Structure 1
Amino acid sequence: MPAFRAAPIVAVFFAFACAAMAQNLPVHVDPGARDDVVDPAPVPALRFLTTADFPPFNYTDASGQLVGFHIDLAEAICARLEARCTVQAWPWDRVQDALAENQGDALIAGLDIGSEAAERFDFSRVYMQLPGRFVTPKAAVAGFDPLAMTGRLAVRTGSVHAELVARTLPDVELEGFDTEFEALAAVESGNADAYFGDAARASFWLNENPDCCSFAGEPYFRPDLFGAGLSVAVPAGLDNVRVAINWALMRLQREGRLDEIYLRWFPVSFY
């Protein structure tokens, strides 16, 4: 978990890195950046590793099929590179060792760039940042002001989002839940007045529960708390794979393919 420092509420909730981060679709590629020079021939195949327990990014559906944003993204990267592609799920507590032991060429599973993994692996460019967001019943969205909040706020127990609001919104009563989905369900049932937490999980839930609730206010980007963003991990020194993935991510962004995959899994945009 990232180090957490107390900060004034205004800085926490209203100081954004730049105005572009509040747009409706994620953009993490500089339109003016030059492409890396890539010869795809040295990367004829890519073996992606992931996990099956991180919906909506990578998980097993009711039919037992591995699906999610990361699965579609891995396949799109391979297609852009014209490389043969496999995606294999491992348990979370073993997947990093599997990558280090050459069981795969790349790990696409939401591994934290700022964690100890940075000492073991290299990382691609960031393809998505994960803001925090409030969710309220639809009737409460208009004029929502986090600074004026009172009542019960649902959070995932032990999350950085819970720590953040505990320090900065002293007038709310925190209701802790084991998962983001349980916290959101508490808002739907009326057992909480609002939710604050991971916006991607909330977006996935809102798409499945469109009638009760909606995002309220703006997305809050705090890389120091919520992480630097999502990227692909590769074994340290495997530069040909890392550079090829970077090239593919840039091309997919510019061609609109990343937006298509994003909206397929997050039709309720969290940006």
Structure 2
Amino acid sequence: MLVISAAGWAQDLPVHVDPDARDDVFDPAEIPALRFLTTDDFPPFNYADANGRLVGFHVDLANAICLRLGARCTIQAWPWNQAQDALADNQGDALIAGLDITRDAAERFDFTRIYLQLPARFVAPKDSAQDFRPGAIGGRVGVLAGSPHAELAETSLPQAEIVGFESDFAALEALEAGEIGYYFGDAVRASFWLNENPDCCGFAGEAYFRPDLFGAGFAMAVPSGLDNVRLALNWALIRLQREGRLDELYLRWFPVSFY
């Protein structure tokens, strides 16, 4: 996992797809078109906007991949409980919807390179965020009750009082109200909230990557054995990273970088 500081954006940007990676070999003539499956209820990654149009980070990424490959592109939304079966039934070439890379999923599908990981972050009031030292944390730390983040906080912050909330946003609102001193949890949800509450708080310290707790990250699933599609997607991801296109898409949808 590499993180670069991009001076032009004054943000930390993810580099999950190694731009120096060896190219995957495939025949572009075998990929004249790509059929992506997704869902319409997972903002900001894939969701239906107020006009019913399918939008989101994943939608833009799928279109960018097709453009880079010179392939015709279709993106179809399915209910989450049907999307995997539709892919297994070859009703699509790739599922781009945040499917966890679990053992069960790996038995059904092959996966591309990981293009986005989901770290944990601390959030603190702005007056204390810059001098943040995780080893010195005391007082009340808000977490999503029952989450992997709560588990990690319980074992790693012995001097703190870990306070569980029914949602990440409830914990962040408690932070704004001064009821807790810190929030620790999902960095993606926190970035949405910080974008709406820029004067209150900020990310404190560095991002925490624990694949054993938070998952391996986002990759596209393809039907098992469909190697030409998987290799083509990997090829496109590497080039989009090299060309800066992945950074553009990331900052379009996540203006408060969660890295």
Same fold (TM over 0.5): yes
Tell me how far 1:185 sits from its aligned partner: 2.4
Aligned to 1:228: 216
C-alpha separation in 1, matches of 2:26 and 2:81 = 33
Gaps of 5+ in 2: 6-11
Distance 2:213 2:233 in 1: 26
Distance in 2 (CA, whole Å) between partners of 1:51 and 1:181 is 23
Decide which of 193, 198, 202 is 1:214's aligned counterpart.
Answer: 202
Taking a change above 3 Å as real, the CA distance of residues 66 and 156 of structure 1, as seen in their structure-2 partners, is farther
CA contact (8 A) 2:21 2:238 kept: no
Picking from 74, 77, 88, the partner of 1:86 is 74
Distance, in Å, in 1 between the alignment partners of 2:256 and 2:141 is: 22
Aligned residues of 1:49 and 1:108 also touching (Cα < 8 A): yes
Residues 86-139 of structure 1 deviation map (CA, whole Å, 9 limit, x = unaligned): 222222222211211222111111111134211100000111122111011111
Match of 1:49 in 2: 37
Q: Secondary structure at the match of 1:258?
A: helix
Residue 82 of structure 1 and its aligned partner are, at CA, apart by 1.4
- Does the 8 Å CA contact 2:19/2:238 hold for their aligned counterparts? no
Do the aligned partners of 2:109 and 2:223 also contact (CA within 8 Å) in 1? Answer: yes
Residues 204 and 265 of structure 1 are in contact (CA less than 8 Å); yes or no, is this contact kept in structure 2? no
Match of 1:101 among 84, 89, 109: 89
* Paired position in structure 2 for 1:7: none
Cα pair 1:155 1:176 within 8 Å, conserved: yes
Q: Is 1:174 matched with 2:162? A: yes
Does the alignment pair 1:198 with 2:186?
Answer: yes
Query: What SS does structure 1 have at the residue aligned with 2:14?
Result: coil
Q: Does 1:138 align with 2:146?
A: no
CA distance in 2, matches of 1:181, 1:51: 23
After TM superposition, the score normalised by the length of structure 2 is 0.90
* Alpha-carbon spacing, 1:206–1:63, altered in 2? closer, same or farther (3 Å): farther
**Residue 31 (1) aligns with residue 40 (2):** no
Question: What is the CA distance between 1:29 and its match in structure 2?
Answer: 2.9
Query: Are positions 1:187 and 2:175 aligned together?
Result: yes
Root-mean-square deviation over aligned CA pairs: 1.8
Work out the CA distance in 1 between the residues paired with 2:128 and 2:101: 36
Give the counterpart of 2:111 among 95, 115, 123. 123
- The answer to whether the aligner puts 1:62 opposite 2:30 as a matched pair is no
SS in 2 for 1:25: strand
Shift of 1:55: 2.2
Instruction: Give the aligned partner of residue 147 of structure 2.
Output: 159
Supply the distance in 2 between the matched residues of 1:140 and 1:268 (Cα, whole angstroms): 18
Higher fraction of strand? 2
In percent, how many aligned pairs have the same letter?
A: 70
Aligned equivalents of 2:55, 2:197: Cα separation in 1: 20
Post-superposition offset of 1:177:
2.8
66-75 vs 242-251, which deviates more?
66-75
Paired residues in the alignment total 253
Which range moved further: 126-135 or 21-30?
21-30
